[in-house]
Amino acid sequence: MTHPKPLPSFALALLPLLIMFSLLVVGYGFMGLRIEALLLLSAAFTAAIAYKLGYCWDEIVAAIVAKLAKAMPVIFILICVGGLIASWMISGTIPYMVYWGLKLISPHYILIAAFLVTSLVSVCTGTSWGSAGTVGIALMGVAAGLDVPLAAAAGAVISGAYFGDKLSPLSDSTNFAPIVAGTTLYAHIQHMLYTTMPGFMIAAVVFWFAGHSETVTTVAEPQKVVGIIDGLAQLYQFNLLLLLPPLIILYGALRQKPVLPLMLLASLVGLVLGTVLQGFSIQQALQAFVDGFNVGMFPHHAQPLLPINADIITLLNRGGLMSMMPTILLVFCAFSFAGILSLTGALTLVLARLIHLIRTTGQLILATVIATISVVLSTSDGKLALLIPGELLQDTYRKRGLDTKNLSRTLEDAGTVIEPLVPWTAAGVYMSSTLGVATLDYLPWAIQCYSGVIFALFYGFSGIAIAKIDRPVIPAAE
């Protein structure tokens, strides 16, 4: 029979968070050390604290396993993304979209186009991951062909993808946030407009002017673009059927179908198209699916065209199940730390102490932002970042006479859209791996993702766009 373990003191509860933040800031930020090793070191410190509190090794391992079990759907998706990219390369799906993107989109408009197109797709489908993994990949290819900085292009894609993830009634986070905060879906979406739309307009203006700035967008030489277009047209047999795999993903997202079967189906269709239309053998298709696609796999009819220019090689040599293995290692390390932290109850204790410091509405919004971002950083879990602060702060909002849709809005502003800006979260790992740009490189350009926090704090301290209820449980003195 297990006996209840004592809760840590506030100082002891705060220690693993301080250790992790210090290791990541100094080790990763200044010394360039690998995040995986730093997270494992953080997990070791936290395990020592758990042991001091009376937890045995079996309980610590069980907590890690339980956390990783919850992460398995994300891990499977990441693995499938690698196969999906490779299958769409061998089919010609991504090259086909890049081909038309290069023909139709001027370098000056690629950033604003990437932002608006992914915004539209994410609103319609409710999935930031699906938007980035379909049209986002193609737009990154177009940006590469046009010599547009990939960090800026990735920031535009992610900004658009998370615009829809905040506002679409089909988004899981948009549905989850009002549930944990105690409000309704459409009240939440309507209230989200106050922070999301100003960020959308600012992002649109930035991407428009950045596209016309020579310091950001250098126009590719016409012969280079023509060379890529001609090279792709010679290597592949382009056909409208090549759009079938991404249409399967988008249709399934609209119908709220399970993600993994959709991705596997879209990959299978891509592999079939690659063998039927492009002339690849079944062996080549399966090899690409596992190990990644490379131009050396092209059938005999394309061999006279090889070697091709380096830009096309860079564009095509991607994907494969194995390409996601380093990403999976990062997820394992991050969730090992998170599992032990959850076991001790340290995070809940620290957040509860934070609540007692609140005196004004602005401080309450600030506390919500700090609590939500802290959960994102320490647990690498976007859903927990909504759940834990939502449960802890819901009554506090009501006692202060504030509608809980203020809480649900702030949870999304500081949780859902901050997650892809953190290198060791599932969203950060996914976006970086899928788009091929390091998280900290695209972070400054992901304007839609951090502008919400700025507006949330402005509204909190100014009192603008703060919804109130008629009868607070306990009147609060401002």
Residues 418 and 433 in one domain: yes
Spatial separation of the C-alpha atoms in residues 190 and 167, rounded to whole Å:
8
Residues 255 and 366 in one domain: no
Residues 57 and 88 in one domain: no
432 alpha carbon, distance to own chain's centre: 8
Judge whether residue 154 has pLDDT over 90. Answer: yes
Range of the domain at 346: 10-69+326-462
468 bridge partner residues: 402
pLDDT tens digits for range 206-256:
998 887 776 555 555 556 667 777 788 888 888 899 989 888 877 886 776
Span 307-319, average pLDDT:
70
Residues 14 and 139 in one domain: no
Number of domains, the chain = 2
Spatial separation of the C-alpha atoms in residues 229 and 98, rounded to whole Å:
9
Residues 238 and 369 in one domain: no
What's the pLDDT at 478? Answer: 39
Spatial separation of the C-alpha atoms in residues 218 and 210, rounded to whole Å:
10
Residues 389 and 277 in one domain: no
What's the pLDDT at 477? Answer: 40
On whether the CB atoms of residues 63 and 71 are closer than 8 A, the answer is no
Pick the more confident residue, 212 or 159: 159
399 is a domain residue: yes
Judge whether residue 42 has pLDDT over 90. Answer: no
Average pLDDT of the chain, as a whole number: 81
Distances (CA, A) of 467 to 183, 266, 305, 395, 452: 12, 44, 64, 15, 17
Pick the more confident residue, 295 or 412: 412
Residues 319 and 347 in one domain: no
**Banded model confidence at residue 436, pLDDT cuts 50, 70, 90:** confident
Q: Which residue, chain included where needed, has tokens 């549905």? A: 175
Give burial (CB, 10 Å; 0-12/13-18/19+) of 41: middle
249 is a domain residue: yes
* Cβ contacts of 197-206, under 8 Å, gap ≥ 24: 198/451, 198/455, 199/447, 199/448, 199/451, 199/452, 199/455, 200/119, 200/163, 200/448, 202/447, 202/451, 203/115, 203/156, 203/159, 203/447, 203/448, 203/451, 204/112, 204/115, 204/116, 206/447
Residue from 123, 154, 124, 187 nearest 409 by CA:
187
Spatial separation of the C-alpha atoms in residues 376 and 369, rounded to whole Å:
11
Residues 311 and 345 in one domain: no
Span 73-98, average pLDDT:
82
Pick the more confident residue, 281 or 225: 281
Domain boundary among 324, 339, 373: 324
pLDDT tens digits for range 444-467:
999 999 999 999 999 999 989 888
340 alpha carbon, distance to own chain's centre: 24
Sign of the torsion formed by the C-alpha atoms of 174, 180, 186 and 192 = negative
Residues whose CB is less than 8 angstroms from the CB of residue 201 and which lie 6 or more positions away in sequence, other chains included: none
Which pTM value belongs to this model? 0.71
Spatial separation of the C-alpha atoms in residues 422 and 39, rounded to whole Å:
13
